[in-house]
Amino acid sequence: MPRTAPRDFEAATKPAASPSPPPESTAVHSGTVLLVDDNEDVRRAGKRMLESRGFEVELAEDGQVALSIVETCRFDVLVVDLIMPRMDGRQLLRSVRRRMPRQPIVLVSGYGAQLVDGAISSDPHTLFLAKPYRSKDLAAAIAEVTGAKEAPRPRKSAVRRRRDGVKRPSARVDPP
């Protein structure tokens, strides 16, 4: 049975109605992520999720594009869809493992863990996450596969909004 992240759902592919500031207390991580998915809506939603949690995100629409990016750039983690045209997630995983055997990778799919090979389940640098996923589940999967500990989220009272909507740290607590 492959290692899987907890399954908790969120409509990851719903486009945002309008650009809005990220929810309070989201920047709890740092690092670089290559997000690989053939669905543009999923790429955009995933990028928003990860950036709202403090990650720098690069995007690739399939495994071939991702492989060419990985050959020239280093990433803390790859988030890779399993089912894609041209080069799927399994093929990309094998190619990346030949070059970088310890590269943390989160494989994602809406088809379930049954698509994941048994060899992946014993790989401590690979984790499976079922789609659709919530932002917190993606962040937890990344933390687990990279061995990072999630930083504690700041208290809501530690962040306040200015009148123009920009958040800034606050030493005082605003009344409710």
In this predicted structure, what is the pLDDT of residue 17? 43
Fold of 31-150: Rossmann fold (3.40.50)
In this predicted structure, what is the pLDDT of residue 29? 59
Least confident of 46-50, 132-136, 161-165: 161-165
Tokens 């050959």, residue?
Answer: 71
55 backbone dihedrals φ, ψ, rounded to 5°? -85, 150
In this predicted structure, what is the pLDDT of residue 110? 85
In this predicted structure, what is the pLDDT of residue 52? 94
Q: How confident is the model at residue 148 (pLDDT cuts 50, 70, 90)?
A: confident
Q: How confident is the model at residue 133 (pLDDT cuts 50, 70, 90)?
A: very high
pLDDT at 167 over 50: no
In this predicted structure, what is the pLDDT of residue 103? 96
The C-alpha atoms of residue 95 and residue 130 are separated, in whole angstroms, by 22
Q: What residues does each domain of the chain span?
A: 31-150
97 backbone dihedrals φ, ψ, rounded to 5°? -65, -35
**Average pLDDT value for residue range 139-163:** 60
Strand locations in the chain (E): 31-36, 55-60, 77-81, 105-109, 126-130, 159-161, 167-169
pLDDT at 131 over 50: yes
Alpha helices in the chain (DSSP H): 40-52, 63-70, 89-99, 118-121, 135-146
Within 8 A by CB and 6+ apart from 85, the residues are 38, 62
In this predicted structure, what is the pLDDT of residue 116? 65
Grouping H, G, I as helix, E, B as strand and the rest as coil, residue 81 is strand
